[in-house]
Amino acid sequence: MAQKTYAGITVDVNEEGYFNDPSQWTKEIAEEIAKEEGIVLTDQHFAIMEFLRNRYKSGDPLSIRSINHSGVIDVKTFYQLFPGAPLKKATKIAGIPKPASCV
């Protein structure tokens, strides 16, 4: 198991940098991971990350469709907030495991 230090806190991550334990996550940590990904976090980022974290906690699959039905933002905005591979980036920054869904 790999470890990484963000904002002075050492956290357990897998070989791709995803958190093993979402409870180790803080907003300060998120900002540092986001910096690595070239993203400056806004309230909108945190709002959708909170949605993703809650969904993960309740055991629901994370799909791109669920973003559209989140009531937080639409998918287009999601792609703009996390350019490139949005669901992968967003979950990484939100401190939850990489989504295993194909949709």
Partner 1 sequence: MATEQKHPIKKVNIICAKGAIEDVYATLVMGNGAVMEGIETNLFFTFFGLDAVIKRRMDKLHTAVVGNPALRLPGGMRMPTLLGIIPGMESFTSWMMKGEMAKLDVPPVSEFLDLITAGGGKIYACRLGMDMFKFTKEDLSEFVTGILTVGEFYELAGGEGSQIIFT
- Is residue 102 part of the contact set for partner 1 (CB under 8 A)? yes
- Is residue 83 part of the contact set for partner 1 (CB under 8 A)? yes
How many residues interact with partner 1 (rule CB under 8 A)? 21
What is the chain's Cα-based Rg? 13
Tell which positions 13-52 bind partner 1, by CB under 8 A: 15-16
Q: Which residues pair with 6 in a beta bridge?
A: 9
Residue from 66, 70, 94, 96 in contact with partner 1 (CB under 8 A): 66
Q: How would you classify the pairing of strands 9-13 and 2-6?
A: antiparallel
Residue from 87, 93, 94, 96 in contact with partner 1 (CB under 8 A): 87
Burial 67-93 (b: 16+ CB within 10 A, else e): beebebbeeeebbebbeeebbebbbbb
- Work out how close the CB of 89 gets to partner 1 at its nearest, in angstroms, rounded to a whole number: 9
- Is residue 65 part of the contact set for partner 1 (CB under 8 A)? yes
Q: Indicate the Cα dihedral angle 63, 101, 60, 33, nearest 10°.
A: -70
Q: Which residues are at the interface with partner 1 (CB under 8 A)?
A: 15-16, 61, 63-66, 68, 74-76, 79, 83-88, 101-103
